[in-house]
Chains A and B, each alone.
Chain A
């Protein structure tokens, strides 16, 4: 089918550059201009590079925590907003974090934290990331909610279910694909985000995220250890995904 072919080509497009990175990470010379033999030396160099490892871990922590918070708040926000009459002002507020240039948000947040004498560290990055992630998560869930049959909630409440039960048993399962999509989006945005992280991070390795680390290293062009890191990230995520897929296989749970 044409559609399947198209989807396949999209994956080729998406993964092409990544495969290039993977190949480069195994290249002895590390240079894209010459293949000089298979080698794992860059993986070894990576294992010894504490800064990169630490930064990668920090990125995962920041992305993970901010995703959980932002998806939760964003989903609730989406439901609350969709239940009532649309309000232009509300829409504007919800879209604001997306359309405010991130440099402005970065500087605004740093100045704000400074004024409050708020300490900086990984936690300040997380707080900042939640801000824009709420907006994105909310938008995604709202798109899903446009097709939601609100009558189900009424029916559920009429049948005597409490608000909480209704939420857990009726609403959530119905919007779950949207919530998961929102979470994926938030995680992706956070793990790659540089400018806000840079400005709201504390000093030092303890609160350096991967984009910050890579950005400061690009002076010398991307070193091959980074290719190795990118490859590892990918292989790990890939494995986790396959694993999760086998686990949920029988259940086929998505509405």
Chain B
């Protein structure tokens, strides 16, 4: 289905791309250039060319933090997808009238404030918090559990904050699914789970991929959740980069670390895009 007028699509893209070019590419290019220079004594920039920052970025300490973050973000992504997909599916199957409402209800809690919601978790999970007090009252435990200030709490916080995005993304994909395909599959004798695995799931993969990327990317760069729910005990890449820019006032190194992070994520995105194309089937002519 090749389009007749290439210029039309360029016109459509122009304003968006223009904005990105001006407010994203240029500012970031400026900061990334700094990665090639040295930090000044008091935190400014010494315009002396060097590769030192990239060499430092590959230091085991930072790589291990990167790895830990990826693992945590990965766990949060997996959980969010696992519980978000069925929820999106349920919404997509609801009546037309209710779908928008259900969707907005999913998003509503997130129009309060991130920090406040995270504090709500602290109130829930701390040793003198609601969860522990309740469990003690009901005789389930005698000593309060350490539910907070560990990686489990951080993952819970990440899932909690990014679940709506997964639901939205998967829903966007599922809602466009052609029901007749499912009907055809049933008519051909496939049991429901098979129809789901062979028809629905693959066709909803773009939504799953988009949702998964959101969660992973937003989680890995997050520094507030690990800070608050991890009690400072869980260091993620977001905290690391924040520290370089603000605490160490080492913009060149912060820039180098960011570039490393971005490079890795781009690689992952490419891998993911390839996988989706193969699994979902390319609908456009090659």
Contacts and interface: CB of A to CB of B under 8 A. Distances in A.
Contacts of B206: 142-143, 146
Given A11-B105, A131-B24, A147-B178, A230 B113 contact: yes
Contacts of B258: 100-101, 104
Main secondary structure of the interface of B (DSSP, over half): helix
A188 B110 contact: yes
A96 B101 CA distance: 31
Contact of A79 (B9, B169, B172): B9
Given A13-B160, A146-B173, A105 B28 contact: yes
A99 B262 contact: yes
A15 B105 CA distance: 9
Contacts of B20: 93-94, 96-97, 131, 134-135
Contact of A107 (B31, B169, B213): B31
Nearest to B269: A95
Nearest to A19: B120
B86 A18 contact: no
A36 interface: no
Contacts of B100: 180, 244-245, 248, 254
B13 A101 contact: no
A6 B86 contact: yes
A66 to B, nearest CB: 11
Main secondary structure of the interface of A (DSSP, over half): helix
Closest 5 A-B residue pairs measured CB to CB?
A77-B16, A80-B12, A80-B13, A17-B120, A108-B27
Interface of A: 3-4, 6-7, 10-11, 13-18, 20-21, 24, 32-33, 73-74, 76-77, 79-81, 83-86, 88, 91-105, 107-109, 111-112, 115, 127-128, 130-131, 134-136, 138-144, 146-148, 150-151, 154, 157, 163, 177-178, 180-182, 184-185, 187-188, 191-192, 194, 210-211, 214-215, 218, 221-222, 226-227, 229-231, 233-234, 237-238, 241-242, 244-245, 248-249, 252, 254
Interface of B: 1, 3-4, 6, 8-13, 15-17, 19-20, 23-28, 30-31, 83-84, 86-87, 89-91, 93, 96-117, 119-121, 123-124, 128-130, 160, 163-165, 167-169, 171-173, 175-178, 203, 206-207, 209-210, 213-214, 217-218, 221, 223-224, 237-238, 241-242, 245-246, 251, 254-255, 258, 261-262, 265-266, 269-270, 273, 280, 283-284
